[in-house]
Structure 1
Amino acid sequence: MSYPEKFQGIAVLDHKDWKNVKKTEYSPKKFGDHDIDIKIEACGVCGSDVHCASGNWGDTPKPLVVGHEIIGTIVKMGPKCNSGYKIGDRVGMGAQAMSCLECDRCINDNEPYCAKVVCTYANPYEDGYSSRGGYANYVRVHEHFAVPIPESIPSHLAAPLMCGGLTVFSPLKRNGCGPGKKVGIIGIGGIGHMGIILAKAMGAEVYAISRTSKKRDDAMKLGADHFIAIKEEPDWHKEYFDKLDLVVICAGSLTDIDFNTLPNILTVGGRIVSIAIPEQHEVLKMKPFGLVGVSISNSFLGSMTELKQLLKLAAEKEVKLWVETVPIGEKGVKEVFTRMEKGDVRYRFALTDFDKEFS
């Protein structure tokens, strides 16, 4: 195959020195009949990128090229592609690169829960190739896991929707977020800020929940109707007793979540859904009586159908995420990794200027 024989990416070569990334050349996975090559123009920066790059989720094959909030244009298509795409179409790709596409979970729009799921980076395909992500000039993926991007959404704003936005949209959608519902979002960070915006766009009455009142003004600007600072309001669980239908936990860690108190603010039949995938050493602790009348679960990514629904909502409601752009490159990736580790972002990064770096 003549094009492209090698990809280039900004890669982690050593977890112990993970911020000092290097521009690296590597071979892409074998080109399949249903694969497409995407020339990348923007890639969001997710908390998962930092966890994986730093080794928090264990050792991974190198070079490690992270990034799973990818926007770009199709430059090559496999001979059996049948999704209606054409060369030059602008598409997006999220945190999933493959599944079996045949099991009941895949057939019923639950591809992220397939036993043969392959994530966009640091996961092995069946032939042993370790997937690599979007801090690169190109990415190769099965056409099923690409989605068309509405013209009205700029690439740097579309990128964070591919993973972060979808990850919070899926539990909102699956648990009835909409008009007449009272929905809490815990953790006003990269994904949490999207949770507030999307829950409001879906018609819910939104409660932003944070440890302190530091982000109160931001939360209200994002669209929250109420703000709860749980460390500053000792009786918060009494004041909001039996109020909320759904709470989505968007915090990166569950250590500070009091699961013995939080259920008090839910109505009977209410649900707590966490999207957090914390460090491996964390353990969830709670008393079983806290589950009386409510349910607690964890959500992982979202389906391709849900991603299309999310993009339709974002276009129709003119959703505007809070995104800061940084040029891709060794310097740019080191900057976003350093600032992400410090929490110095309001509220999401998108890497841009791919043409300049990889020309």
Structure 2
Amino acid sequence: MVEGKFSEIRGWAAFEPGIKVKPWSYRPRPLGDNDVEIKIEYSGICGSDLHTIKGEWGPPQLPAIVGHEIVGRVVAKGDGVAGLAEGDLVGVGAQVYACLKDSCETCSRGLDPHCPDMVFTYNDNYADGKQAQGGYSEAVRVDANYTFKIPAAIDPVHAPPLMCAGVTVFCPMLKHDIKQGDRVGIVGIGGLGHLAIQFASALGAHVTAFSHSPNKREECMALGATAFVDTSDEKQVEGARQSLTHLFVASNAPANQYNEFIKWMKIGGAIVMLAVPPGKMSFSASEFTGSEVSLSGSLVGGVKTLRKTLDFAAEHGIKPIIERFPMDQVNEALARVDSGRIRYRAVLENPRD
């Protein structure tokens, strides 16, 4: 069996619900035949990290090192790993394992995020019972199938948000076959939304950005939007009625706001939730039968979709707007993300040797 470079991995872990993390180290799982060990250079902060350590999605497994937007270099690999070499620049997203068997009902359909055996990057357990730990650390060991080469055209510091936020917005666009002529709306111009504008525009769609912050108009247009609606302006909102073939909701919009979203859709349009709204939704049947609008959600993209996301971003020059923080300033970065002041994704940087 190949030995890894790290017998202990140092990171920043949550020990109680909240947004504070502390230095902590753990002994990693043995490096399996199909595993790689990655020395982390950059780790993005995702809203899911905060939801997890704050306990908003249920009690977390503590101590927990979160972070599932990981970019670094391969420093060791198992004997069965092909296609990756030591020194390769790679990324890891929100998932670190699925069976990927042809006999698996979900994996065989390219839906490996729904595999019964899937393992999230953190706050989850492998089949052997060992807890998965994430990217706010110096290194990580994961299955090679969920380790992706970063294309040379992508600046490594801009790669982490593509591993989660990027694939989160691009995956449903592929499923809905977004193309030239489609009229796509993006609600919530933040960490997800500013990337969604870029991907939809690169696919050829007419993109309308919806935001209650009129000062984001110029930025949205620069990112590729062809129209902007200030949602605090009733006249502009009224003008958006029945204008969209697709709407991607990238904000935690209140559940009751979806009733308004339906009014923006053309007959037979599709609304896709990219974020989880608080509260329960309430609709009358006639809202759907009268409009023939569909409402769906999207989790994360699987192996094939993540590769497509990175390749497409490289080809079209898509990159997140980021703020950079040294890894030891992770608590300051978490506070800034939690306050909503980040523009638009935070990236933690480990010191270089």
Q: TM-score, normalised by structure 2?
A: 0.94
Closer, same or farther: CA 212–256 of 1 in aligned 2, 3 Å? farther
Find the counterpart in structure 2 of residue 22 from structure 1: 22
**1:51 corresponds to which letter in structure 2?**
H
Q: Give the 3 Å change call, closer, same or farther, for CA 235–196 of structure 1 in structure 2.
A: closer
On the 8 A contact 1:261/1:290 being kept in 2, the answer is no
TM-score of the superposed pair, with normalisation by structure 1: 0.92
Counterpart in the other structure of 1:132: 133
Deviation per residue, 1:2-34 (Å, 9 max, x gap): 632111111111114x32x21111111232221
Q: Deviations over 1:30-56 (max 9, x none)?
A: 322211111111111111111112111
**Residue 313 of structure 2 is aligned to residue 317 of structure 1:** no
220-229 or 157-166, larger mean C-alpha shift: 220-229
Cα deviation for residue 125 of structure 1 reads 1.3
Q: Give identity over the alignment, percent.
A: 36
Residue 53 (str. 1) matches residue 14 (str. 2): no
Shift of 1:122: 0.5
- In structure 2, C-alpha distance between the alignment counterparts of 1:5 and 1:137, rounded to whole Å: 12
For 1:231 and 1:174, locate their aligned partners in 2 and report how far apart those are by CA, in whole Å: 31
In structure 1, C-alpha distance between the alignment counterparts of 2:50 and 2:221, rounded to whole Å = 28
For residue 7 of structure 1, the aligned residue among 2, 9, 24 is: 9
| Alpha-carbon separation, structure 1, partners of 2:209 and 2:152 | 31
What residue ranges of structure 1 are gaps of 5+ in the alignment? Answer: none
Name whichever of 156-165 and 254-263 sits farther off.
254-263
Q: Which residue of 2 aligns with 1:217?
A: 218
Q: Does 1:283 align with 2:287?
A: no
Q: What's the CA shift for 1:80? A: 1.4
Q: Following the alignment from structure 2 to structure 1, what is the Cα–Cα distance between the partners of residues 316 and 250?
A: 22
Deviation at 1:160, TM superposition (A): 0.4
Q: Which string of whole-angstrom CA distances, capped at 9 and with x for unpartnered residues, describes residues 136-171 of structure 1?
A: 111111111111111121111111000011001111
- The alignment of Structure 1 onto Structure 2 pairs a total of residues equal to 347
1:12 partner amino acid: A
Aligned partners of 1:52 and 1:137: how far apart in 2?
20
In the alignment, structure 1 residue 122 sits paired with structure 2 residue 123: yes
Partner in structure 1 of residue 351 of structure 2: 355
CA distance, structure 2, for counterparts of residue 131 and residue 257 of structure 1: 36
SS of 1:307's equivalent in the other structure is helix
Q: 1:61 & 1:112 partners in 2: Cα distance?
A: 20
1:229 & 1:285 partners in 2: Cα distance? 25
- Which runs of structure 1 show a deviation greater than 4 angstroms over 4 or more consecutive aligned residues? none
Offset from partner CA, 1:221-261 (integer Å, 9 cap, x none): 2221111122322572x42233211101110x231652222
CA contact (8 A) 2:186 2:196 kept: yes
TM-aligned CA deviation for residue 348 of structure 1: 0.9
Query: For residue 61 of structure 1, what is the amino acid of its counterpart?
Result: Q
Match of 1:327 in 2: 326
For 1:72, the equivalent position in structure 2 comes to: 72
Q: 1:333–1:229: structure 2 CA closer, same or farther, 3 Å change rule?
A: same
Residue pairs, 1:180-259, within 5 angstroms: 180-233=181-234, 236=237, 238-251=238-251, 253-255=252-254, 258-259=257-258
Q: Name the Cα RMSD after superposition.
A: 1.7
CA displacement at 1:320 relative to structure 2: 2.9
Q: Distance in 1 between matches of 2:325 and 2:256?
A: 32
Residue 300 of structure 1 corresponds to 299
2:214 maps to amino acid:
S
What is residue 97 of structure 1 aligned with on the other side? 96
Q: Does 1:41 align with 2:37?
A: no
**Cα-to-partner distance string for 1:79-125 (whole Å, 9 max, x where unaligned):** 1123x111111111100011122213212221112122211010111
2 CA distance for matches of 1:65 and 1:299?
25
Question: Are 2:158 and 2:322, in contact at CA under 8 Å, matched by a contact in 1?
Answer: yes
Task: State how far apart, in whole Å, the 2-side matches of 1:46 and 1:212 are.
Answer: 22
Match of 1:156 in 2: 157
The SS at the match of 1:224 is coil
Are the structure 2 counterparts of residues 225 and 235 from structure 1 closer, same or farther at C-alpha, using a change threshold of 3 Å?
Answer: closer
